[in-house]
Amino acid sequence: MTASALPPARSDALSRLASESFDVLVVGGGIVGSGVARDAALRGLRVALVDQQDFAAGTSSRSTRLLHGGLRYLAQGEIGLVREASLEKKILLRIAPHLGQPLGFVFPAYRGEGPPLWQLRIGVKLYDLLCGGGNFEPCRGFSRDQTRTLLPGLKADSLRGAVRYFDALTNDARLVLDTLRSAARHGAVLANHTRLTGANPVADGWECQLTPNDPSEAPFTLRTRTLVNATGPWADRMPYGSVKLRLTKGVHLVVDRHRLPVPDAVVVTEGKRILFVIPWGERVILGTTDTDYAGDPAAVATEPADITYILQSVNEFFPTAALVPGDIISMWAGLRPLVANPDGSPSDISRAHEICSPRPGWWDITGGKLTTYRLMAEQAVDAVARHLGRPPVPCRTALEPLLEPGAGTDGSGTLPGPCTREAVAHHVRAEWACHLADVVVRRGGWCYYERDFAARLPEVAAWMGEVAGWDAARGEWEIAACRSEFGWSAA
């Protein structure tokens, strides 16, 4: 890769990380790490955050994109977890209304398979109660005929009826980026594509060795009083981490909505597993899988068996759709960094989170899910502040809007904005985008939504090169790297 001049904002961030000392270094720029950085900055702590890849490049841009309480966890007796997440989803829509679209979920009931209708009716009423004062809209039930009218393509054999409850659709990567924008606005210093290569305990905290991925950027040492390990699937690979993870893989497929013209999201069951058919503008998201994963977290990918499983399951419930692999516009695979439990199937593992301090000044924060990230961060920062001996400062993240009025533009929202030269320039200048994939995969999300987007990569790379100062060789390298990350062929 041809070295290029550093953008001024990144150059300044790396200089500050090397020259200043911090109260807390957050390692991991996914949803949990971004939440910790924002909360700590709002409480007046000196905050640094780094990520070895791009912000949100791991689990936090590869989820089902839902803010939800987890209806199915009620069947596992996780009432406390459901209430916790149900309250948090309402908080997130209050502080970030541009990132939450309330969405109905229709759960059909069939004789002899899946939960019976009476159980679903009780479950959704309890689900609404656990939201603490009402869900986005009240749940309701449907008769067999009403369900067929609502979803004319749904399998009719043995259909008893359905229930509908409400959760919300979000943009997971955008939620990370807007949380980081808020953290930076309150003083946090952030650097993506920068790896923690060493950490040594010293008298007043930690001395950390950091290495930027670009060879034109020199390694440096950072001093911090505390360190929070928020690296998700990599958490048990950190030098002083004590967590034990059980990684499970989730795969999602995107198809045109005209193939599955559903007015609401639909819940389909396959044994103990649940899959969603989620309307997403002119597209539909299908997923997710839930299988154990033991490989390199950076190498998680969609396998042919994953595609077959999702398509077969959806086709069983929507037989007239007759989806085939050629209908797939895009796909993604991500990992859930669940706290290890040797018993039970992956679908039975608790989604509760865990915060522990294996040695003074070091915290591991793992488990949980997208919806509960704000609460996880609050609890972690509470522990850090106590260790630092700071006077109690109330957490403000449940009340403070994520963005200032008028700032929720330039790619924010549950759907990607259009791919334009102006949008690309904004992502580079204001949102830490260093590489082409940073823009088209995470900030714009166009590669997931637009059909055959690979053909536009040269055009977008040229726009980005105008802002970043790339030469032709660097532009070609970026296109090749982007194709590789997203799984496009070179043709």
Identify the sign of the CA torsion 356, 358, 362, 367.
negative
Q: Is the confidence at residue 2, as pLDDT, over 50?
A: no
pLDDT band for position 346 (cuts 50, 70, 90): low
Q: Which CATH architecture has domain 8-60+174-244+350-388?
A: 3-Layer(bba) Sandwich (3.50)
Asked if the model's pLDDT at residue 236 lies above 50, the reply is yes
- Residue-wise pLDDT tens digits, 406-425: 554 444 578 889 999 999 99
Please report the pLDDT score of residue 342 as a whole number. Answer: 54
The answer, yes or no, to whether residue 50 has pLDDT greater than 80, is yes
Q: What digits encode the pLDDT tens for the residues 34-46?
A: 999 999 999 999 9
- Mean pLDDT to the nearest integer, 66-85: 90
367-392 per-position pLDDT tens digit: 999 999 999 999 999 999 999 998 88
- Render pLDDT for 392-404 as a digit per residue (tens, 0 to 9): 899 999 999 998 7
Longest CA–CA span in the chain (Å) reads 71
149: burial class by Cβ within 10 Å (0-12, 13-18, 19+)? exposed
Per-residue pLDDT at 49: 98
| Domain range list for the chain | 8-60+174-244+350-388, 101-168+245-344, 421-486
98 and 168 Cβ atoms separated by less than 8 Å: no
**What secondary structure, in 3-state letters, does the chain show?**
CCCCCCCHHHHHHHHHHHHCEEEEEEECCCHHHHHHHHHHHHCCCCEEEECCCCCCCCHHHCCCCEECCCHHHHHHCCHHHHHHHHHHHHHHHHHCHHHCEEEEEEEEEECCECCCHHHHHHHHHHHHHCCCCCCCCCCEEECHHHHHHHCCCCCCCCEEEEEEEEEEECCHHHHHHHHHHHHHHCCCEEECCEEEEEEEEECCEEEEEEEECCCCCCCEEEEEEEEEECCHHHHHHCCCCCCCEEEEEEEEEEEEHHHCCCCCEEEEEECCEEEEEEEECCEEEEECCCEECCCCHHHCCCCHHHHHHHHHHHHHHCCCCCCCHHHCCEEEEEEEEEECCCCCCHHHCCCCEEEEEEECCEEEEEECCHHHHHHHHHHHHHHHHHHHCCCCCCCCCCCCCCCCCCCCCCCCCCCCCCCCHHHHHHHHHHCCCCCHHHHHHHHCCHHHHCCCHHHHHHHHHHHHHHHHCCCHHHHHHHHHHHHHHHCCCCC
Look at residue 340 in the predicted model and tell me its pLDDT. Answer: 82
What average pLDDT does the segment 243-259 reach? 95
Question: Residue 241 — left, alpha, or beta (φ > 0 → left; ψ -120 to 50 → alpha)?
Answer: beta
Predicted local distance difference test score (pLDDT) of residue 273: 86
Query: How much is the pLDDT for 407?
Result: 52
Residue 8 has pLDDT above 70, yes or no: no
Task: Provide the percentage of residues in the chain whose pLDDT is more than 70.
Answer: 94
Task: Return the pLDDT at 457.
Answer: 97
Res. 126: pLDDT tops 70: yes
Mean pLDDT of 294-312: 96
pLDDT band at 4 (very low <50, low <70, confident <90, very high): very low
**Mean pLDDT score across all residues of the chain:** 92
Q: Are 188 and 41 contacting, i.e. CB atoms less than 8 angstroms apart?
A: yes
253 has pLDDT over 70: yes
242: left (phi over 0), alpha (psi -120 to 50) or beta: alpha
440: tokens are 């088209």
Average pLDDT over residues 88-105: 96
Please state the rounded mean pLDDT for residues 212-219.
Answer: 94
Q: Is the pLDDT of residue 284 over 80?
A: yes
What pLDDT is stored for residue 491 in this prediction? 43
pLDDT value at 344 more than 80: no
- For 467, what's the count of Cα atoms within 13 Å in the CB-facing half-sphere? 24
Average pLDDT over residues 294-314: 96
Of the pLDDT bands very low, low, confident and very high (cuts 50, 70, 90), residue 352 is confident
The predicted structure's pLDDT at residue 409: 47
pLDDT digits (tens, 9 = 90+) for 143-160: 999 999 999 999 999 999
Helix (H) or strand (E) holding 196: strand 194-202
Using 50, 70 and 90 to split pLDDT, how confident is the model at 132? confident
CA-wise closest residue to 295 among 303, 284, 283, 287: 303
Check pLDDT > 50 for residue 3: no
Which pLDDT value is given to residue 478? 96
3-state helix, strand, coil in the chain (%, to 5): 40, 25, 35
More confident site: 491 or 185 = 185
Q: What is the mean pLDDT of residues 106-117?
A: 94
Fold of 101-168+245-344: D-Amino Acid Oxidase; Chain A, domain 2 (3.30.9)
CA 247 to mean position of chain CA atoms: 15
